[in-house]
A and B are shown apart, each in its own frame.
Chain A
Amino acid sequence: MKIIVHDLQQQEFAGWVDDPNAELTVLSDNDTIRQCMGCFGCWTKTPGVCVIKDGYQNIGELLSKCDELIIISKCMYGSYSPFILNVLNRSISYMLPYFVTKNGETHHRNRYDHQFALSVHFYGHDITEAEMGTARTLVAANSMNLYSIGNKVYFHNSLQNVKEAVL
């Protein structure tokens, strides 16, 4: 399964995906997502599932069935935009709370043996060099923590360019 997580408006994304039979899940902002509250319930109360039942509680499980994760985000200060961050914050049940040491640093143990490919498409018309550098470092760190099969980072100055690159 392929997952696209994007922060575009519904009308901006309309028509991007034509094939209803494709094995594709799209996560987008419908203004109902709630913030992670740091309760660790997805690790110690209902392992694997977030305790906030707002339709975004199963992101960890979704990732376990994903072969390719594509993130489309406005680049803001070298970070993802708020909605993409919100989805990532709510996805930590994909990992276990327990720790491993990789390259001399602590990380979470993986809950699933599964791995997915990660590509991130940042867009924005005035992204600075510093912000691009930060964004590349951020995605690489996420890739390490999510056990993804590598990571690819792209920067686009228009949504049309994103669409051409993603589809």
Chain B
Amino acid sequence: MKIAMINGSPKPVKSNSALMLKTLDPLISTGNELTYYNINKRPLTIEQYCELCRMDTLIIAFPLYVDGIPSHLFRMLVALEEFMRVEREQEIYVYTIINNGFFEGRQNHIALEIMRNWCTRCGLHFGQGLGQGAGEMMGFLEKVPLGQGPLKNLGKAMESLAHNIHSRSMDESMLFSPNFPRFAWRFSATHSFWNATAKKNGLKKKDMLKRL
């Protein structure tokens, strides 16, 4: 099968969406041809849009933005709908992997609905969606084996996703949080991420609270 791995993160480097695709890659690479697409720096070319219309499967990974889809990815989806109407000749299955900054993966449910509605407009099959909470943790867990510790839920979800991709099946979406206490995540996000990043930029906590 020809599978498109679309990274829908706007980050120039080190995106959690890229990590998600990297995690899925070895689970689906055997017997399939995987092609990666990035839209963070420039839009897709007409040739790339046409290529996507000739894929068997699209896997779209992106971060949740303001309860929905990041604007640059949304622009791409709107353009792709037009290409799909004209260029598509075969059945295409779409799978999505969303990560959100809040702890609860269930907060991704609206973005999944939007993706499902997009598939309906395009005439594509919405296969399955995953929604991972506390996405910013992923970058700190690269050395943790998939399916273990805080990545236990992600491991199960990735296995399910890989199985459905291989068999071109449609399945219930899976929304989950990392196997990690919420209070510990919140403490660590506040102190080791937000405050630490601000400190590196020469700011104090009171600067972060600034009102204009």
A43 touches B194 (CB 8 A): yes
Which residue of chain A is the closest to B183 with respect to CB atoms? Answer: A101
Nearest Cβ on chain A to B29's Cβ, whole angstroms: 27
Which residue of chain A is the closest to B133 with respect to CB atoms? Answer: A106
User: Chain A residues with Cβ under 8 A from B121's Cβ?
Assistant: 77
Give Cα A44–Cα B197 distance, bound, in whole angstroms: 6
Nearest Cβ on chain B to A5's Cβ, whole angstroms: 13
B67 touches A106 (CB 8 A): no
Known: A43-B208, A134-B110. A145 touches B190 (CB 8 A): no
A106 touches B194 (CB 8 A): no
Select the stretch in A11-19, A135-143, A153-161 that faces chain B. A135-143
Give Cα A35–Cα B74 distance, bound, in whole angstroms: 11
B10 touches A134 (CB 8 A): no
Binary CB contact string for chain B from 9 to 22 against chain A (1 if under 8 A, 0 otherwise)? 11110010000000
Q: Does B155 contact A (CB under 8 A)?
A: no
B65 touches A85 (CB 8 A): yes
Give Cα A18–Cα B28 distance, bound, in whole angstroms: 59
Known: A44-B194, A47-B208, A85-B70. A138 touches B117 (CB 8 A): no
B113 touches A85 (CB 8 A): no
A99 touches B66 (CB 8 A): no
Q: Does B47 contact A (CB under 8 A)?
A: no
Binary CB contact string for chain A from 120 to 164 against chain B (1 if under 8 A, 0 otherwise)? 000000001011011001100110010000000000000000000
User: Chain A residues with Cβ under 8 A from B197's Cβ?
Assistant: 40, 44
Known: A43-B208, A44-B208, A89-B70. A98 touches B194 (CB 8 A): yes
List chain B positions with a Cβ less than 8 A from chain A. Answer: 9-12, 15, 40, 63, 65-72, 74-75, 77-78, 102-104, 106-107, 110, 113-118, 120-121, 182, 186, 189-190, 194, 197-198, 201, 203, 207-212
Give Cα A85–Cα B65 distance, bound, in whole angstroms: 9
Give Cα A47–Cα B107 distance, bound, in whole angstroms: 25
How many residues of chain A get a CB closer than 8 Å to chain B's CBs? 49
Known: A38-B11, A99-B186. A85 touches B211 (CB 8 A): no
User: Chain A residues with Cβ under 8 A from B190's Cβ?
Assistant: 98-99
Which residue of chain B is the closest to A40 with respect to CB atoms? Answer: B197
B186 touches A106 (CB 8 A): yes
User: Chain A residues with Cβ under 8 A from B203's Cβ?
Assistant: 44-45, 47
A138 touches B182 (CB 8 A): no
Give Cα A37–Cα B68 distance, bound, in whole angstroms: 15
Known: A47-B210, A48-B211, A105-B102. A134 touches B66 (CB 8 A): no
A79 CB contact (under 8 Å) in B12, B15, B114, B182 = B114
Which residue of chain B is the closest to A130 with respect to CB atoms? Answer: B117
19 A-B contacts, Cβ less than 8 Å apart?
A: A35-B71, A45-B201, A45-B203, A47-B207, A58-B212, A61-B212, A79-B68, A82-B75, A82-B78, A89-B66, A97-B208, A98-B190, A105-B104, A107-B102, A111-B209, A111-B211, A130-B120, A134-B114, A145-B66
B209 CB contact (under 8 Å) in A40, A61, A86, A96 = A96
Nearest Cβ on chain B to A130's Cβ, whole angstroms: 6
Known: A47-B210, A105-B104. A85 touches B71 (CB 8 A): yes
Q: Does A27 contact B (CB under 8 A)?
A: no
Give Cα A152–Cα B121 distance, bound, in whole angstroms: 26
Binary CB contact string for chain A from 80 to 111 against chain B (1 if under 8 A, 0 otherwise)? 11110110110110001111000001110001
